[in-house]
Every structure is written in structure tokens, then in C-alpha cells.
Amino acid sequence: MQNRIAFITGASRGIGRACALALSVAGARVVLSARQPDKLEQVAAEIRSAGRDAFVVPMDLASTDSIRAAFAKTAKEFGRIDILINNAAITKDGLALRMKQADWDAVIATNLTGAFVATQQVLLGMMRERWGRVVNITSVVAEAGNAGQANYVASKAGLIGLTKSLAQEMASRNVTVNAVAPGFIDTDMTQGLGPELKARILAAIPLERLGTPDDVAAAVRFLASEEAGYITGHVLNVNGGMYM
């Protein structure tokens, strides 16, 4: 992975931050993207303090113009993008019966459409280079479903379908497209869970613990590596066994 250019969305915290650090340690030059540049700069400073390259590009996945501008800026800086990690996502939970269409639209726009538009920006360059890695961060709920998250689950299930279709389209150019499906990971998104709900979740996980961002990042790092060159269209579960 030495000197590969890796673009990570949602890199300011949690899984995205862990992916950025893991890919940097593996030798990639990382491009950090999210909506909050101040938090991105903190992650970049952490990477630079270890003597490695980090480039910050603010981007809002809900805006096609913002996505195109961010990738154009990255292309101007580096000339190419070898690895894309589609990690950024939002939630707007609620029962389907009462879900506002605006909440449905916002989640689909960011989590699915945003990832698709971001991927479009890198495919031509990867085809030209005849090498590329796209890793989409989906979720265990995309496979198992989850009450109160119809919009989020649909967006993450859509990512799995997108992964498999793109894998077939891009394979002849040596570009792999895979997905990682985390279970319940100890991030900001899960730290607000009440003790009773957390106990129920842990009871459903054979490994009896929440995952860590580093658990997910290790899977992402592998799928983005040279060693994973014969794997494409795959969904790698990182869920402690809660869904098999």
C-alpha cells in the first residue's frame, strides 16, 4: 500500500478516523474528508506527527457539487485516487409509520446517493491505472433489518447492492469493490445507548463485547491491500457473530 492515495469519507471520528490511521500506518497517503474541517485537522495532525502524509478536504455528501469539488481538489493535489473508503453516514431514526419523507430523503441522499456519486469520481482514474480499491461501509442491520431504522437500513442494504454491481462492472480493469458490515461498534453512535438496551445487544453477540473502530479498520485495510486482489463483490461481516 506504499504511497497509494486513499480517500476516506467521514474521517473525522469513529470508524473513519480508525480507517485513516490504519491505512496511513500501512503506507498510504490519506485524504481525510467530512463536514467538519476542524475535527479533520485534529486527525491529520495525529497522522503527521508520526511522519506520514494527510490531506484535508471538507465535503458534504448530501451535496453533489460539494462531492465533485472535493474530488477535483484531491485530483489536483495528487493526480489520482487509488483507494476509496465510503464510510460517512447519518441516521434519522423513527418508525416507518410516522417517518417524515424529509428524514427518509436525507438518509438516502447521504448514505447511498452520496457514496455512489463519490465512487463515480474515482472510477475513471482507477480504470486508467488498471488498479483500484473501493470499500463501502455498510452495516449488520442491512442484512438483518432493524425496527425504527427503515431509512438507514435501506441505505445500507442499497450499498451492498451497489457493491456487487460495481464489482462486476469494474473487475476487468483490476478494480475491486467490496463492503464491510460492522455490527455494534463502540462509537459516538452507540455510546448513547441505555444500559438495558446495551445489555440486550451484548446478549445477542457471541463474542460478548461491542466491536471497536480498530476491528473494522483492520478489515478495511485488508480489503484495500494488494493481498485482497482476488476478492471482489464480497461483504465482510465484522459483528462478533451476532449475524451469520
* Residues with catalytic roles: 152
Neighbours of 46 (CB within 10 A): 15
- Which residue from 169, 67, 170, 163 is spatially nearest to 126, judged by alpha carbons? 170
CA 131 to chain centre: 19
Q: Are strands 83-86 and 5-9 parallel, antiparallel or unpaired?
A: parallel
Distance CA 45, CA 52 (A): 10
**Buried (b) or exposed (e) across 17-44, using 16+ Cβ within 10 A?**
bbbbbbbbebebbbbbbbbebebbeebb
Distance CA 244, CA 240 (A): 9
Distance CA 112, CA 93 (A): 16
What is the chain's length?
A: 244
